[in-house]
Amino acid sequence: MSEHNALNDQILGTEGLIKDGDTSTFMQDVVQASTQCPVIVDFWAPGSAACAQLTPLLETAVKAAKGAVKLVKINLQDNPDLAAQFQVQNVPTVYALKNGQPVDGFAGPMPENELKNFIQKLTGQDGQIAEQIEQANEHLNKGDAQAAVDIFAAILREDPQQPDALGGLIKCYIQAGDLTAAQETLDMLDEELLAHDAIQSAKTALELTQKGGDAGDIAQLAQTLTNNPDDHATRFDLALAQAAKNNRADAVEELITILKKNLKWNEDAARTQLLEFFEAWGPTDPNTIEGRKQLTSLLF
């Protein structure tokens, strides 16, 4: 940063809001700092045109928030362990953390006006829609799909293209066992909506449910494991079957058990599947939060 820019940051009160981070500073700069205010993590890579476009917009938006949010930039190439933990597959990928836990995020470029809305939602400045989405997701996470449907439907009557509500509605269909309706809703969406994180999460959830249905009967799989607790393939199938029945804590437990016994089993299949669960369930689901904690303790 130039001396001129540094002086401007001091004058504007934005000094210290933007940092370059790495694995060694992540706990202090991101996890601990997020207990004071939301922290945005920007995973970027040298030579990426999309990163070069997004990062300056992020910096400007963070400075405009005047201390309501902070930004930590992580070079993907230099910090592969962090990239793996947060399931970063493309750059740029952005996560937002509050109180040490991921609460929102997106991948790829984002227009300036949408980026502003992202930060407003994160800092609690955009009000009613975000609160309604959060409330609906809480109902969904508790297994009350009908209450969630009522809220998502009300939002979609006002804005039929609202991606968070569309993704939530698809997950409601999945939880209710109506996979046909879930697939039909996905099929109606255009490419732009399909690229949204909330829709991708719902799509992953549908794929996991379909895959879990082919994994086998939970009772039979559990019996097989009783006879051979080190049968990781059966335990893996049991995790899929549990997830398909929305037994999320049990699904996480089975995969964590595999990782504790053999971290790299079957070419990292257990960790990869666990990250797919997190994507499908979303960053605020209690099972995602607890699962990430357990995964982090194993990886680091």
**Top-confidence residue, 15 or 46:** 46
Cα 82 from Cα 255, distance rounded (Å) = 20
pLDDT of residue 285: 83
- pLDDT at residue 124 tops 70: no
CB atoms within 10 A of CB 2: 7
Cα 78 from Cα 61, distance rounded (Å) = 25
pLDDT of residue 15: 52
- pLDDT at residue 2 tops 60: no
User: Span 128-212: which CATH code?
Assistant: 1.25.40.10
Alpha helix (H) ranges present in the chain?
A: 3-12, 26, 49-64, 80-85, 112-122, 128-141, 145-158, 163-175, 179-187, 191-194, 197-213, 218-227, 232-244, 248-261, 265-281, 286-299
CB atoms within 10 A of CB 9: 16
H or E stretch covering 127: none
- pLDDT at residue 198 tops 50: yes
Q: Give percent of the chain above pLDDT 90.
A: 58
Cα 136 from Cα 51, distance rounded (Å) = 33
- For the CA atoms of 223, 225, 231, 236, the dihedral, rounded to the nearest 10 degrees, stands at 90
- Give the lowest-confidence range in 32-36, 64-68, 106-110: 64-68
User: Span 215-299: which CATH code?
Assistant: 1.25.40.10
The stretch 147-159 carries a mean pLDDT of 92
Most confident region among 15-19, 34-38, 65-69, 281-285 by mean pLDDT: 34-38
Closest Cα to residue 174, out of 148, 154, 138? Answer: 148
Summary mean pLDDT of the chain: 88
Q: What is the CA radius of gyration of the chain?
A: 20
| Dihedral (CA of 51, 192, 119, 182) sign | negative
Please report which confidence band the pLDDT of residue 299 belongs to, taking 50, 70 and 90 as the band edges: confident
* Angle at alpha carbon of residue 29, lines to 27 and 32, rounded to 5°: 60
- pLDDT at residue 168 tops 80: yes
| 128-212 and 215-299 have identical folds | yes
pLDDT tens digits, residue range 170-194? 999 999 999 999 999 999 999 888 8
What does the block give as tokens for 15? 């000094």
pLDDT of residue 271: 94
Domains of the chain, by residue range, sit at: 3-122, 128-212, 215-299
pLDDT tens digits, residue range 201-228? 899 999 999 988 787 899 999 999 999 9
* Angle at alpha carbon of residue 197, lines to 166 and 92, rounded to 5°: 160
Kindly indicate whether the domain formed by 3-122 is annotated with CATH number 3.40.30.10: yes
